[in-house]
Chain A
């Protein structure tokens, strides 16, 4: 009995400290489903080890080491990337940096999750998001 209570406390502690991460994982899962509804496996790439680790936990993804080969690129740094895949960023600052190519971004601001898509870039790539995502589409960053 006491053992169970103890384990429950540990589990609660883990949950408490992992809220943001699990929330983020859920968001990426939904974004990938929205962007690639018919793709069984989405090839993903990121310039961050942490993000790669997180993306690897998603069911329908496969990590790739070659950005050119990736369907979805999660970018955390401002670099010059010459890629074909869908560019997604992790801060407002990067969204402005990649405003010509990134289709959107997910980032934390003031402790709150922010999801944003750029209409023009979505249109350029011929991507259509489901209705539930419409409220996140902006004309400019």
Chain B
């Protein structure tokens, strides 16, 4: 609609400019024509004046006035001769003289009509005429105040340095009027065309306005005056939703309001809440009444990932603080909102809106009057305060280098000093927040992304070892060793930087079912040959297979956290750990107790002979190694 208006406006402007240009061109042409004709007439008039001068000088002896006063016959003859020169263009031709008082009087007159008598005074602009007499130079006088006269050519006749007379040749206005009247229809034509086009355009504009009005009515919710679902359909068709964040808003307990105060008040509430939302969003955002008391807000956003949340909180607080007054009723309301921060990560727009709706559901479930943009799982779902990401988000994070490592120290149980670190992977999401592996690792386990991520982690760990020269353990699956790309990468690094080997600990996750695999054994032995320590992670959980000690050159056993967590209180756990320690002591293998979360657990682990300790009680993972 806006484009149509612009086209109309442009069209109108072009036509208007063209017509105005033509009109003024015509005007200019008229002036130029008049000026050229004036020049032509002037040259002709000058030639006439010269002839008259020569003729009079031949016929008149001495002072012109005295001679003609004495010779009325000559006067008459000359007047008749002059009359032959009068044409339609030259309105009057006559000869005047200046009397002693500075007035101008007739000497000769060529005109038959309005003929001036000899000596008759003629009302002329004396100052200009005197100027011609005294300066003895011809002059062109323009008449602006009279109907008949256009211009007068005044020519002095000088005899022996004295101005004896002046020849006056008047041009009539006939020509300029003819010119004006000839061009007038053309000019009027332009004017009428302009008026007609103007009227047509006005009608078109009016029609456009009516269309616009009808269209607007069809896409506007009559009650709240915000967009309705019709508009939403169009909006979604023509908009790249990637540039927006989606807020789904619902008025809390609206049904109660309707039931208690009636639908009239309910309508007022809807109208006023919509008005508040409209005030709080920007003109670039889109507000849609999605259903009864549900609103969808599309927040245009390319830069600030938290913008939708900020706006949503602003709306929530504003509505919470507002007292809605209708008649004698005062109502306080709250709203709940669900947000989809990254619609582009959804399969389609419906999924993104559905996600916002799910977030809204969570907001309501958690007590209303809140804004939810992330799913938060409870302990039963084994993911605490972690965010489940989508595969695209992980892919973007890998591509954009948002995979990082945090390092948790592992202490020597006897000396209480840090002997090494465990590298723990983290993902930094688009909002700059840390996401734990529980939210993304499992979903990419059997994809290429997993390999890519493992390689990224290894790169980070190698670099940290080279820089910090500390022992760092990195978690790998058995399948990672079997992966040629990862294996090749490790070997190349070990060959390139031989010292890295002595600082590197490969912590192989025990939970993967281990099958006798020659290739695996060969590869792990090759790695080990460079001096790399091999550790078995989470030992004691899953498939605690003692065959593993025969298959691999193990340096470290990391006892599973589930055994250590209850070590201070569970006799069974103590017995299992004790037996693991006996076994590893016999084999000359270090032990690490993970998940040491309290002093009691730490003391018990020490008492049982565990050689190394790791856990939140001792130190939390950190981005930096001091």
Residues of A within 8 A of B (CB): 2, 5-6, 16-17, 19-20, 23, 92, 108-116, 138
Contact = CB atoms under 8 A, between A and B. Distances in A.
B195 interface: yes
B123 A113 contact: yes
A109 B191 contact: no
Given A5-B191, A111-B92, 4 more contacts: A2-B191, A20-B148, A108-B114, A113-B123
The 5 lowest CB-CB distance pairs between A and B, nearest first, are A111-B148, A114-B123, A111-B149, A20-B147, A110-B92
Interface string B191-210: 10011001000000000000
Contact of B145 (A17, A23, A92, A116): A23
Nearest to B120: A92
5 contacts: A92-B117, A110-B114, A111-B143, A111-B147, A111-B149
B122 A19 contact: no
Interface centre among B114, B149, B191, B195, by most chain A C-beta atoms within 10 angstroms, is: B114
B147 A109 contact: no
A92 B119 CA distance: 12
Nearest to B101: A135
B191 A111 contact: no
Contacts of B94: 110
Contacts of B147: 16-17, 19-20, 111
Contact of A111 (B91, B116, B120, B195): B91
Interface of B: 91-92, 94, 111, 114, 116-117, 120-124, 143, 145-149, 170, 191, 194-195, 198
Contacts of A111: 91-92, 143, 146-149, 170
Contacts of A23: 145-146
A138 B121 contact: yes
Contacts of B148: 20, 111
Contact of A109 (B123, B145, B194, B198): B123
Given A2-B198, A17-B147, A19-B145, A110 B191 contact: no
Contacts of B194: 2
Interface centre among A2, A109, A113, A116, by most chain B C-beta atoms within 10 angstroms, is: A109
B203 to A, nearest CB: 15
A93 to B, nearest CB: 9
Nearest to B94: A110
Given A2-B195, A92-B120, A110 B145 contact: no
B79 to A, nearest CB: 14
Contacts of A115: 123
A19 B143 CA distance: 11
Contact of B116 (A6, A20, A109, A113): A109
A114 B198 contact: no
Contact of A116 (B121, B143, B149, B191): B121
B12 to A, nearest CB: 13
Contacts of B149: 111-112
B124 A112 contact: yes
A83 to B, nearest CB: 27
Contacts of B198: 2
A5 B194 CA distance: 12
A112 B123 contact: yes
A123 B147 CA distance: 35
B205 to A, nearest CB: 15
B121 A110 contact: no
A109 to B, nearest CB: 6
A13 B148 CA distance: 15
A113 B111 CA distance: 17
A99 to B, nearest CB: 13
A6 B198 CA distance: 15
Nearest to A113: B123
Nearest to A23: B145
A109 B114 contact: yes
Contacts of B122: 109-110, 112, 114
